[in-house]
Structure 1
Amino acid sequence: MTTLTYHGYTARIEFDGEDEIFVGRIAGIPDVIGFHADTVKGLKKAFHEAVEDYLAARETLGC
């Protein structure tokens, strides 16, 4: 299994051979945050956006 890290968050990455996409999920948080893309560059961008959105939501909710 491959991982990516950004701003202290780690995501587990898998390849979905049927849909031919990379699928990721942020690990170690109580929420389910997933993302996907069909290129490595797109996957990294989607991961960064997912983390930024998660942090913004936590700030809005006062967490």
Structure 2
Amino acid sequence: MTTMRQDGYEALVEYDEEAGLFHGEVINLRDVVTFQGRSVEELKQALSDSIADYRAFCAERGEEPEKPFSGQFLVRLEPSLHRAAVAAARRSGVSLNKWVAKTLERATA
């Protein structure tokens, strides 16, 4: 799989060899936004068009288009893991927020 980005949206793309077609889906939304193309140029244009269509569809319904994730999320932990994370953050000399962010960055790189 390959990742594409446009206007803050991130999409995963796969190639279907049998159909001779690339197809992709925006992954950082709850809504489903898909696109396809036979070449890289078509694929880039299709992603752009799909995002524009998504925004237009939302406008027609009087809704704000969902923005890519806000950067905030709630995590529930066992108290012992919470305690261990706070201790690790303190040992590193950073806030729990920064420690979690750095840990997640390493884990997802």
TM-score, scaled relative to structure 2 = 0.54
Partner in structure 2 of residue 30 of structure 1 = 30
Determine the C-alpha separation between the residues in 2 that align with 1:62 and 1:31: 12
Instruction: Answer 1 or 2: higher relative contact order, Cα 8 Å, separation at least 6.
Output: 1
Partner in structure 1 of residue 54 of structure 2 = 54
Would you tell me which structure has more helix in proportion to its own residues? 2
The percent of aligned pairs where both chains have the same amino acid is 33
Which of structure 1's runs of 4+ aligned residues deviate more than 4 A? none
Deviations 1:15-49 (A, max 9, x none): 00110110010112111111111111000000000
Shift of 1:56: 1.9
Shift of 1:62: 2.1
Residue identity opposite 2:63 in structure 1 = G
TM-score, scaled relative to structure 1 = 0.88
RMSD: 1.1
Tell me the secondary structure at the aligned position of residue 45 of structure 2.
helix
Partner in structure 1 of residue 44 of structure 2 = 44
Tell me the secondary structure at the aligned position of residue 41 of structure 2.
helix
Could you list the runs of 5+ residues in structure 1 that have no partner in the other structure?
none
Partner in structure 2 of residue 11 of structure 1 = 11
